[in-house]
Amino acid sequence: MQILEAAGQKQLTQRERFEKVRTLVHPSSESASKALAAEVAALIRERAAAGKTTVLGLATGSTPVPYYRELIRLHQEEGLSFESVTTFNLDEYYGLPRDHPESYFRFMRDQLFDHVDLDPSRIHIPDGTVPMEAVYDHCLDYERRIIEAGGLDVQILGIGRTGHIGFNEPGSSADSITRMITLDRVTRQDAAADFMGVANVPRSAITMGVGTILEAKRLVLMAWGANKASIVREAVEGKVTDQISASFLQNHGNATFLVDEAAASNLTRFRFPWLVGPVEWDAPMKKRAVVWLARKLDKPILKLVDEDYNENGAGGLLASTSEAAYEVNIDIFNRVQHTITGWPGGKPGIDDSRRPERSEPFPKRILVLSPEPADALIGMGGTLSRLREQGHEVKLVFQTSGNLRVADVAALNFARVVLEMAETSHSPEWESQTAYARSIVEAIDAKGEFGIDPDFVRKLKGLILRGEARDAASVCRLRYHDNQFLDLPFYETGRYRRFRFEAADAESVRAILAEFQPHSIYATGDASDPSSPQAIAFRAFTEAWKGWDGGTRQESRVWLYRGRDRPFEAHEIDMAVPMSPDQLEEKAESIRRFMSINEDDLNAPARNREIAATYDALGMAEYEAIEAFRRWIPA
Ligand code: F6R
C-alpha cells in the first residue's frame, strides 16, 4: 500500500527532470507528515489483516516529530493498533545511559512508544551502553535481528547538514552495515543546543549502515526548513557519492524525499524554474533570473547582453517582453538599487514611492521580535542601532528566555560569587542567599554530566541570559527599558527538537501588539525547522497577528530578518541596510557579549559582508556590509 507516490526512482515531469529521486513537496511539515502516516497506517492495517507483521524503521531528531504525533493521533482517535508492528531505530549516541534525556531510547519513549500499543519486546534501538569490546558483536546482532524480522518494510530518515542518514557521516560506503561511528564536527555542532554546549555532545554513535538502510523495501527521507535546502538539493540533484550518504537513495528503487517548501527551495524547479519549463515572467521572477544570470556570469547587471540571456537558458525572459537586454537590465538594476536604504524606519519628509519603508509617520513605533535572545542582534544588530539613532521608539522583545543555551559554569559562577559575598560579609542576613546559592551548586552537581536542570536552575540561567541580552542590546544603542522579556511558555516547558506551540505563546505576543501598536515589526523564523524555537516563536507571532485587530494593524509593515538561518539570497531582499566598518564592528561586539555564542553566530558579520559583496558584484555601490530584510505579506 503506497499513498505517497514513488513510481520508480526517477521524476516524471519536465519540471522535475533535474531530480534523480522522487521528491514530493508539501506546504508544511504537518501536511507531509500526515500523508506519510496515512501511508504507513494503511500498510500496517493491510498486513495485520493478512496476519503479517510490519517492520518499521524509525528515526529520531526534530524531523520525525510531527510524523510520530500523527501516528499517536491515529492510534488514539482512529483505532490504529501497533500490536503487529516491530520497530528498529537507526541509531543511538554511544555512552549515554538509556534514561538520559537526550538518549534516542528516551526520545522514542517520549515521542512515540509510551503513547501507542507497541509491544516493548518488539522495539529495537542500538544500545549505546554496551562496553566497547562488545560493540562489534552488538552491531552484528542488530543486523541479524533485522533480517530475522523479515527486513525493514518502511524506513524513515532525516538528513543531517553533512548529508548523513542515520549517523552515516561523509565517507560511509554504500555497503556499510551497523557499526560504531565518530560524529562529524558539524553534526556535533548541530546537537550542541540539545546538550547545552558542544563539549557535552557525545563523540560517537552506533548507527545502521548505508547498506542496512538501502535494504529496506521502502525509504522515505523527510526534511523541513531552509537550513536543509542546500543539502537536499545536493542529495536529490547531485552525484551519488559517499560524501553525502543520502545521495545513495538515488539508487534505491522505492525511495521518496518528502520535504516542505523551505527545504525544497534550492531544487532547480523552484530556484531556477525557467531552466526546467515555461514560467510566468512577473516582476519577482525577472529579478530572480537577472540576478542569477549576473552572478553566474560574474558580471554586473548592467553589462549583461542579449547573448548572455540566450546562451544561459534565460532567453525566455527576453522573448516574453519586447525589451532588449539593456532595458531589462536597467529595470532590475533599479529595483535592486531601490532596496538599499540607510533609513530602515523611513526617511522623513521625502518622496517614499521608491523606498522600502514609508516616510510617515516619523518617528515610528518599531517592534523587534527576537525568538532566542541573540537572534535579533545576530540578524539585525546594525539596523537596531540605526533605528534608535534615527529617533524611533524601538521595543526589542525577547520571546523566549533561551535558558537552555546557558552553560552550567555561568550559573556556578553566579552562585560562587554569592557564597563569597556571604562569607566576607559575616552577616546572618545572607543566610537565605547562601542557602539559595548552595542549592544551585548542589543541583548542578547532582544532575551529573548530561542531566537536566531543575526549574529553579533554568530560571537562574534565564536571568543570566537576560543580563547578557541587555548588555548586547546596549551596544546597539538600546536602553534598559527598550527591552522586554516574554519567557514564552513553550520554551520554558520544552527541550530542543521537541518544542510545541501553545495558544498561550500567541496570546503573549498579541498582548504586546495590542499594547504597543507598532508601525513596523521585525520577525524571524518563517523558514526555520518547524520544531525550533525560531519557528515556534514565528508561529506565535503569526497567530498573534491574526488575533490583533484594530489599532495600527492595517498600516503596520512586517519585515523578516535572518538570524541563525540561511541568509536571504540577493533576489529575495526587499530592504538592504548598509553598514560601515565601524557599525559592523559594533555589531560583532554586541554578539560577543553573549557567553553562549557559537562559531556560526560569530560569523554573522562575515555573512553581512557577503551580502555587500554580492550587491557590489551586481553593480551596486560597494559597502562594507549589509543587513537584509524581506517583506512579509500575511496570507
Ligand atoms: C536520527 C538520525 C539523523 C537525523 C538527522 C537530522 O535518528 O539518524 O540522521 O535524522 O541528523 O536531524 P534533525 O531531524 O534533528 O534535523
528-549 pLDDT, tens digit each? 999 899 999 999 999 999 999 8
Using one digit for the tens of pLDDT, what is the confidence trace for 151-168? 999 999 999 999 999 999
How far is Cα 26 from Cα 409, in angstroms, rounded to an integer? 43
CATH number at residue 547: 3.40.50.10320
Do 213 and 305 lie in one domain? The reply is no
90 lines ligand 1 (CB under 6 A): yes
Using one digit for the tens of pLDDT, what is the confidence trace for 279-301? 999 999 999 999 999 999 999 99
558 lines ligand 1 (CB under 6 A): no
228 lines ligand 1 (CB under 6 A): no
Do 68 and 145 lie in one domain? The reply is yes
**Alpha-helical regions (H) of 16-163:** 29-49, 65-78, 104-111, 135-148
Do 85 and 122 lie in one domain? The reply is yes
Specify the 3-state DSSP secondary structure of 120.
helix
How far is Cα 386 from Cα 580, in angstroms, rounded to an integer? 11
Using one digit for the tens of pLDDT, what is the confidence trace for 465-516? 999 999 999 999 999 999 999 999 999 988 888 899 999 999 999 999 999 9
Where b means 16+ CB within 10 Å and e means fewer, 69-102 reads bbbbebbeeeebebebbbbbbbbbbbbbeeebbb
Of ligand 1's atoms, which has the minimum distance to the CA of residue 64? 14
How far is Cα 356 from Cα 353, in angstroms, rounded to an integer? 8
pLDDT at residue number 551: 85
Beta-bridged to residue 181, according to DSSP, are 205
How far is Cα 298 from Cα 300, in angstroms, rounded to an integer? 7
pLDDT at residue number 84: 98
Ligand 1: residue of 67, 90, 221, 499 to mutate (most ligand atoms within 8 A of CB) is 90
How far is Cα 584 from Cα 364, in angstroms, rounded to an integer? 24
Do 578 and 619 lie in one domain? The reply is yes
Do 144 and 33 lie in one domain? The reply is yes
Work out the widest C-alpha separation in the chain, in whole angstroms: 87
Do 245 and 176 lie in one domain? The reply is yes
158 lines ligand 1 (CB under 6 A): yes
166 lines ligand 1 (CB under 6 A): yes
Q: What is the dihedral of CA 455, 460, 461, 466, to 10 degrees?
A: 130
- For residue 427, is it within any domain? no
**pLDDT exceeds 90 at position 450:** no
- For residue 320, is it within any domain? yes
Evaluate the CA torsion angle 128, 130, 133, 139 in order and state its sign: negative
pLDDT at residue number 496: 85
Of 269, 292, 310, the domain-final residue: 269
Beta-bridged to residue 180, according to DSSP, are 206
- pTM strictly above 0.85: yes
- For residue 440, is it within any domain? no
pLDDT at residue number 9: 44
- Distance from the CA of 63 to the center of ligand 1, in angstroms? 7
How many folded domains does the chain comprise? 3
Q: Beta-carbon neighbour count of residue 375 at 10 Å?
A: 28
Q: What angle do CA 13, 16, 21 make, to 5 degrees?
A: 105
Do 377 and 401 lie in one domain? The reply is yes
- Distance from the CA of 532 to the center of ligand 1, in angstroms? 14
Percent of the chain with pLDDT over 70: 97
Using one digit for the tens of pLDDT, what is the confidence trace for 561-620? 999 888 999 999 999 999 999 999 999 999 999 998 888 899 999 999 999 999 999 999
Lowest mean pLDDT among 3-17, 167-181, 290-304, 361-375: 3-17
- For residue 344, is it within any domain? no
Do 261 and 280 lie in one domain? The reply is no
pLDDT at residue number 498: 82
- For residue 8, is it within any domain? no
- For residue 452, is it within any domain? no
Do 28 and 168 lie in one domain? The reply is yes
Ordered DSSP codes for 560-587: E--SSSPPPPGGG-SEEEEE-HHHHHHH
Do 329 and 386 lie in one domain? The reply is no
Tell me which residue range forms the domain holding 331.
272-337
Of 337, 354, 387, the domain-final residue: 337
CA within 13 Å, CB half, 64: 27
Do 181 and 88 lie in one domain? The reply is yes
**pLDDT exceeds 80 at position 451:** no
Do 44 and 81 lie in one domain? The reply is yes
- Give the active site residues: 169
- For residue 352, is it within any domain? no
- Distance from the CA of 307 to the center of ligand 1, in angstroms? 45
CATH number at residue 243: 3.40.50.1360
- For residue 214, is it within any domain? yes
pLDDT at residue number 5: 58
